[in-house]
Amino acid sequence: MGTKNAFLLQLVFLILLLSGFSYLDTIKLGYCSDTGSSTRVGCIAIERKALVKFKGGLTDPSARLSSWVGEDCCQWGGVSCSNSTGHVVQLKLGNPFPDSFDTPLGGEINPSLLDLKYLNYLDLSNNNFGGIQIPDFIGSLGELRYLNLCSASFDGTIPPSLGNLSSLRYLDLNSNFVESIENHLHWLQSLSSLEYLHLGGVDLHKAASYWLQNVNMLPSLSELHLPQCQLSQLPLSLPSFVNLTSLLVLDLSNNGFNSTIPHWLFNLTSLTSLDLQSNNLYGELPDEFAKLTFLQSLDLSQNSNIGGKLSKRLGYLCNLKTLRLSVNEITGEIAEFINGSSRCTKSSLETLDLQYNKLTGDLPDSLGRLSNLRSLQLTKNSFRGSIPNSIGNLTSLEGLYLSDNQMSGKIPKSLGQLTSLAVLELSENLWDGTVITEAHLANLSSLKEVSINKLSPNISMIFNISSDWIPPFKLTFLYIRSCQLGPKFPAWLRNQNELRTLVLNNARISDTFPDWFWKLDLQLDELDVAYNNLSGKVPNSLQFSDPSTVDLSTNKFEGPLPLWSSNVTKLYLRDNLFSGPIPQKIGGNPNLTDLDISWNTLSGSIPLSVGNLNSLITLVISNNRLSGKIPEFWNNFSQLSIVDMSNNNLSGTIPKSLGSLSYLKFLALSGNHLSGEPPSTLQNCTIVESLDLGDNRFSGNLPAWIGGKNMQSLLILSVRNNSFTGSIPPQICSLSNLHILDLSHNKLSGLIPSCFGNLTGFKTEFTSEDAARYEGRLKVVAKGRMFEYYSTLYLVNSVDLSDNDLSGEIPKELTGLFKLGTLNLSMNHLTGKIPQRIGNFERLETLDLSKNLLSGPIPPTMASLTFLNHLNLSYNNLSGKIPTSNQFLTFIDPSIYEGNLGLCGLPLPTNCTDNIETPHFPEDEDRDTDDGDKFEKLWLYLSVVLGFFTGFWGVFGTLIIKKTWRDAYFNFLLGMKDKLSQRSHQILHFLHRNVFGA
């Protein structure tokens, strides 16, 4: 019987060879050996000893080699012997479960393997050899035909001795060599029998100029995988003829070639799969793709610089099964390409992936002729119009991905004919006035996943489905957002007991959760019904998988807070009517990472069990009625990043242990009754970006450590409405990233530090890319009113020092903060003039200088504040004419100027009598210049007076001495008496008004 089996095995090999099967095919089919023959020869002693030595060098924590005992090594696990000779021919020691908790083999590879003279198969893949180099002696295992060291944690360089393995047909060194740098490929050209080569992740940058010439020397190669090898050069031509005529699979992805697609690729007429993703390829797709008549798979995805349009001839590849061009810069319309594909007698195309490009236009009706299409992936383009009615002809279609486009037409009812459809993604489109009925879903018996999210909130997409309709499908994923699914809870979900994800967000449902929903016995990984008008109580009976997300926000749910199993990792219950205390059992879910129970009516104290939630990243319990002290449990949190306890009735001091939160970025404690001084331990939170302590009862000096070197990440600092005293610490000037500074409504005194000009954050402008750095809500006074900012908080640039006891002049350095949006210095004791450079505030929208002691004119440069829409200068000592140009034409409310008796002109009723514009002062004019001008005028007037008296006594002194002159002039002086008296009176009046009264 054994002889017969051996004969049959040899016959199978002969048939395979005659049929054109390669060695690689026989390996894949498993016809490598047959150890079950009854005539098998026993293990060779020297080879058994070699295996024992080999085992001795290995570490085997999982005892995978526990069967390596006894005399017959051919019975050991992973060892295969020849039936006729007994020699060991195969070692299959690859880890079969690399993703499991099974610990892989490690240690060293003993040279005793050289005693296995007939070894032709060696598999050590998915083990962990700790970064050792591939042993050089493996190149002496001359009979090797299969060598797999994939993902085995080797490092160093590839030993050139592998080039001695002339019989090698399969070589896989993928995912090794984390730090290898000196690899060459000259050894490769001698492996003339090689059929499979995978060097993924090997650093081959030194072989970039010649790698293709070496590979081209391998005529038997059918699969070549060189992804992420830092090759950098993709030759546009070969110096000789193309020798890779047997190549079926070519993977050159993630190399960064930065070139056009070379023409030699189109001579590889046997290719079935081509992957050139992530290579910065550019230029148009050549028409030579039409030569790849046997191509079954083409992948050019993630080549961000590919440009041009889809080639029409590309559509003539009638044998093409897979076309992947995703993540590129392909432009134009898709119609010609689809029309070309549809001209095939029978299109073979099964997968069409054009995601993440810049394609436009409508989907053509000829799309329905691609009868074998299984996956249509057009996500993230700019397609318009409707889904063609011919879509119903694609009876093999399993996945339809049209999300993130601009499609605004109708969804045809023929969609309901796609009996094979499993995934339907239509999210982030316009779908103008589309109505979904039962006909759209009638025959979708294979449907598992549905995603529909209307892009524009102003366009209606309505589900008009009868309450007694029973779907033919069993969904696992349902995502409906910003559509009109209500007002009643969708009754057609009552048989969907296989759901894993249920999102009905902003679906206009005004109803209670039906009892049948709670009884579906669902095991959900996501439940999101936020932004509806759902009411009633939420039971604790729901079951969730691990991990899972629950979002019931912005509804009208009531009763105590619901708690579920420890599998819930993200829990959002904000903006409901939940009441009562926070349950003590809330600490029983150590896997919880995000907790938001804000905007409810929860009362009582914060339970100590919250300290057990040591996986928390976000804790938001704001806007409730919580009271008592903040517990001292913060040392338990190693990842907490957001803490918002604002707008409650919390009292006492800030716990010192809050300073232990090394990952804290956002801390909001505003709107409570907290007192004392903020603890200096908070400066240990070195990456905090937002610190909001406003609307409390804090006292003492404003801490200087807030501006210390440990707080340099601060973007927002608000301590408004407290009782801080003393001067503003100059250390705050070092917070160069600040965009919001609110010190208002305190008792701060002294000068505004001139170093505020160093706050460079107010000289920059954040964009939407920075929005993620801002978390939570913040109240900011702007345009004379209190605003609460949330999603646009990153756009706010504000300095508010109002309602303090600040004195002195407004520092001219403040005018250098030219991106400032709000400046509020009202209700202080500021003196001097408004800085002439105030026109530098190019983005200023709100300026409030009211209720101070400012004097002088309104600087004309203020007219250049073209963004200014709120101005208040009331109750100061300003004088002169109100400017009447540019932005001042819009300020027609006289109340913004009232309380300034010296101001005149519109919109005030006081006219300016001289009709002269307020004089223009140079921009660099300051107080020193004003004082200098005043002294110059004083000396001028004194010189005039001294000159007058000198001339007067020079003449009349002589007359007193000479009587003849006195008599001659006496009569003349008497005649001039009245005139001189009048002139003297005028001069004295002039001096009094212009000199002594200056």
Q: What pLDDT, in 10s, does the model give residues 27-59?
A: 443 323 333 334 567 899 999 999 999 999 999
pLDDT of 706 higher than 80: yes
Give φ, ψ of 775 to 5 degrees.
Answer: -125, 150
Write b or e for each residue in 347-369: b if 16 or more Cβ atoms lie within 10 A of its Cβ, otherwise e: bbbbbbbbbbbebeebbbbbbbb
Average pLDDT, the chain: 83
Could you tell me if 538 and 559 are in contact, meaning their C-beta atoms sit under 8 angstroms apart? yes
- Quick one: pLDDT at residue 7? 44
Distances (CA, A) of 534 to 22, 89, 311, 495, 542: 65, 69, 52, 21, 17
Confidence of residue 26 (pLDDT cuts 50, 70, 90): very low
701: Cα separation from own chain's centroid:
39
- Quick one: pLDDT at residue 313? 54
- The DSSP H or E segment spanning 952 is helix 927-961
pLDDT in tens, 512-550: 989 999 889 899 999 999 999 999 999 888 889 989 999
Residue 248, token pair as written in the block: 């079926």
**CA count, 13 A, side-chain hemisphere, 822:** 23
- Quick one: pLDDT at residue 347? 75
Separation of alpha carbons 740 and 441, rounded Å: 52
Q: Which residue spans of the chain are classified as CATH 3.80.10.10?
A: 41-233
For residue 559, give the 3-state DSSP assignment.
strand
- Quick one: pLDDT at residue 459? 60
Residue 447, token pair as written in the block: 């449907």
pLDDT of 976 higher than 90: no
pLDDT of 960 higher than 90: no
Q: Read off the amino acid at residue 182.
A: E
| Mean pLDDT lowest among 165-174, 488-497, 781-790 | 781-790
At residue 558's C-alpha, the angle toward residues 554 and 561, to 5°, is 90
- Quick one: pLDDT at residue 990? 41
* Residues facing residue 375 across a β-bridge: 351, 399
Q: Name the CA radius of gyration of the chain, rounded.
A: 42
Residue 738, token pair as written in the block: 């600040």
Separation of alpha carbons 144 and 137, rounded Å: 12
Confidence of residue 331 (pLDDT cuts 50, 70, 90): confident
- Quick one: pLDDT at residue 947? 46
Say which DSSP state 993 is in: I
- Quick one: pLDDT at residue 884? 86
State the angle between helix axes of 927-961 and 963-991 in degrees (0 to 180), rounded to the nearest 10.
160
Pairing between β-strand 146-148 and β-strand 798-800 as defined by DSSP bridges: unpaired
pLDDT of 651 higher than 80: yes
Confidence of residue 964 (pLDDT cuts 50, 70, 90): very low
pLDDT in tens, 818-827: 889 999 999 9
Q: Is the peptide bond before 487 cis (omega within 30 degrees of 0)?
A: yes
Separation of alpha carbons 805 and 374, rounded Å: 73
Residue 183, token pair as written in the block: 């690899």
- Quick one: pLDDT at residue 988? 42
- Across the range 14-37, mean pLDDT stands at 39
Of 593 and 434, the one with more pLDDT: 593
Could you tell me if 614 and 591 are in contact, meaning their C-beta atoms sit under 8 angstroms apart? no
- Across the range 268-285, mean pLDDT stands at 75
pLDDT of 805 higher than 80: yes
Separation of alpha carbons 868 and 865, rounded Å: 5
pLDDT in tens, 284-308: 555 556 555 566 777 777 676 666 6
Separation of alpha carbons 443 and 413, rounded Å: 11
- Across the range 714-721, mean pLDDT stands at 95
To the nearest whole percent, how much of the chain has pLDDT over 70? 80
pLDDT in tens, 599-608: 999 999 999 9
- Across the range 845-863, mean pLDDT stands at 94
| Mean pLDDT lowest among 59-73, 91-105, 642-656 | 91-105
- Quick one: pLDDT at residue 310? 66
pLDDT of 357 higher than 90: no
- Quick one: pLDDT at residue 944? 41
Separation of alpha carbons 578 and 600, rounded Å: 5
Pairing between β-strand 778-782 and β-strand 829-831 as defined by DSSP bridges: unpaired
649: Cα separation from own chain's centroid:
35
CATH of 41-233, one of 3.30.413.10, 2.60.40.1080, 3.30.565.10, 3.80.10.10: 3.80.10.10
pTM of the shown model? 0.75
Could you tell me if 506 and 532 are in contact, meaning their C-beta atoms sit under 8 angstroms apart? yes
pLDDT in tens, 400-435: 999 999 998 889 999 999 999 999 999 999 887 789
Residue 726, token pair as written in the block: 């003393």
Residue recorded with tokens 């709000």: 822
Could you tell me if 118 and 148 are in contact, meaning their C-beta atoms sit under 8 angstroms apart? no
Separation of alpha carbons 766 and 599, rounded Å: 29
Give φ, ψ of 864 to 5 degrees.
Answer: -85, 0
Separation of alpha carbons 744 and 110, rounded Å: 75
pLDDT of 626 higher than 60: yes
Give φ, ψ of 90 to 5 degrees.
Answer: -140, 140
- Quick one: pLDDT at residue 629? 97
Say which DSSP state 924 is in: T
pLDDT of 449 higher than 70: yes
- Quick one: pLDDT at residue 358? 87
CB-based burial label for 237 (10 Å; 0-12, 13-18, 19+): exposed
- Quick one: pLDDT at residue 34? 35
Could you tell me if 908 and 884 are in contact, meaning their C-beta atoms sit under 8 angstroms apart? no
Number of neighbours of residue 318 by Cβ within 10 angstroms: 16
Separation of alpha carbons 265 and 298, rounded Å: 12
Confidence of residue 61 (pLDDT cuts 50, 70, 90): very high
To the nearest whole percent, how much of the chain has pLDDT over 90? 56
| Mean pLDDT lowest among 17-31, 840-854, 874-888 | 17-31
Could you tell me if 469 and 437 are in contact, meaning their C-beta atoms sit under 8 angstroms apart? no
CB-based burial label for 584 (10 Å; 0-12, 13-18, 19+): exposed
Residue 767, token pair as written in the block: 């964009």
| Mean pLDDT lowest among 180-194, 358-372, 433-447, 515-529 | 180-194
Give all strands (DSSP E) within 57-176, no chain letters.
Answer: 58-59, 79-81, 88-92, 106-107, 121-123, 146-148, 170-172
Give φ, ψ of 651 to 5 degrees.
Answer: -135, 180
For residue 705, give the 3-state DSSP assignment.
helix
pLDDT of 954 higher than 80: no
- Across the range 628-645, mean pLDDT stands at 95
Write the CB contacts of 658 (distance below 8 Å, at least 6 apart in sequence): 630, 634, 643, 664, 667, 679, 681, 682, 685
Of 308 and 113, the one with more pLDDT: 113
Residue 73, token pair as written in the block: 């090594």
- Across the range 390-395, mean pLDDT stands at 94
Write the CB contacts of 563 (distance below 8 Å, at least 6 apart in sequence): 540, 583, 585, 586, 588, 589
Write b or e for each residue in 393-422: b if 16 or more Cβ atoms lie within 10 A of its Cβ, otherwise e: bbebbbbbbbbbbebbbebbbbbbbbeebb
| Mean pLDDT lowest among 274-278, 767-771, 964-968 | 964-968
Comparing CA positions, the residue from 843, 268, 818 lying closest to residue 835 is 818
Separation of alpha carbons 483 and 503, rounded Å: 11
Number of neighbours of residue 988 by Cβ within 10 angstroms: 11
- Quick one: pLDDT at residue 994? 42
- Quick one: pLDDT at residue 833? 95
- Across the range 338-361, mean pLDDT stands at 81
Confidence of residue 963 (pLDDT cuts 50, 70, 90): very low
Most confident of 300-304, 316-320, 586-590, 765-769: 586-590
